[in-house]
A = this chain, B = another copy of it.
Amino acid sequence: MPKDTFFNLPIEKRERFIEAALDEFSLHDYRTASVSRIVAALGIAKGSVYQYFDDKKELYRYLVTLAAETKFSSIDSSISTDASDFFARFKQVVFHGARFDFSRPRFANILYHATYEPSETDILDISAQLKESSYRYIRGLVDDGVKRDDLRKDLDVEFVVFALYQLTISLRDFLSTKFAFSFKDAVRKGKGSPISDAALNEVIDRLIEFFRSGIGKERNRTRRGPAPEKAAS
């Protein structure tokens, strides 16, 4: 997605550029992000950006991809693969995903933006691509969980993937609120208020427990009969 020019750049220069671009796109969404601001911050010529990338969209695509790959591989390299069951593994994924978000708020923000820009018609493909890879990742875990017999047999996998995806993604909002952690501030100031593993664990335990058992009273568990009839009038 970048042109050769970009990869031919001295590493130091390339990284300065990436930093500046991350700053911009993590503080503003695609539309609002400004190429002009990036070059102003870097003190380089506007034309240079277009030596590196075909257009703003390709630059954005690069950053989103970079963020996604970095996050996935960060998670992958952090989880211990010997986790006993599906829930233990998923917990690790969520935990290290959250840790990643807190420690790399610029990446986190970019992924957040890319996830929630459904109206920007001209970057639909980037959002879709990101969602697709997230789904794939989760579906892999779920399929595995089904095989290991950790999950119920009667699940609609598609629905489960959706539910896990949405809650995992939006956990960021919950944490942000609960711990008064501002991702924007974290980007601007370089560092946000640290959140202890214990505190984080507690929240994620709750999430996992929600996934595992829901919120209904346990006695209700004996589901018989044709399920909740006529919700509609």
Binding site for B on A (CB under 8 A): 27-29, 31-32, 78, 80, 83-85, 87-88, 91-92, 94-96, 99, 109, 112-113, 116-120, 149-152, 154-156, 158-160, 162-163, 166-167, 170, 173-174, 178, 197, 200-201, 203-218, 220-225, 227-233
Contacts and interface: CB of A to CB of B under 8 A. Distances in A.
A209 B216 CA distance: 9
Contacts of A84: 228
Nearest to A119: B29
A120 B224 contact: no
24 contacts: A27-B119, A31-B31, A31-B32, A32-B119, A96-B231, A109-B119, A116-B116, A149-B217, A152-B215, A152-B218, A158-B178, A159-B207, A159-B210, A197-B232, A210-B214, A211-B216, A212-B220, A213-B220, A218-B221, A221-B222, A222-B222, A223-B223, A227-B228, A228-B231
Nearest to A155: B215
Which 9 A-B pairs give the minimum distances between C-beta atoms?
A212-B216, A88-B228, A214-B214, A116-B116, A29-B119, A232-B232, A95-B231, A213-B214, A91-B231
Contact of A95 (B85, B209, B211, B232): B232
A221 B85 CA distance: 13
A228 B211 contact: no
Given A118-B112, A233-B80, A151 B228 contact: no
Contacts of A113: 119
Contacts of A152: 215-218
Contacts of A222: 221-225
A149 B149 CA distance: 31
A229 B202 CA distance: 10
Given A88-B228, A113-B119, A167-B167, A162 B174 contact: yes
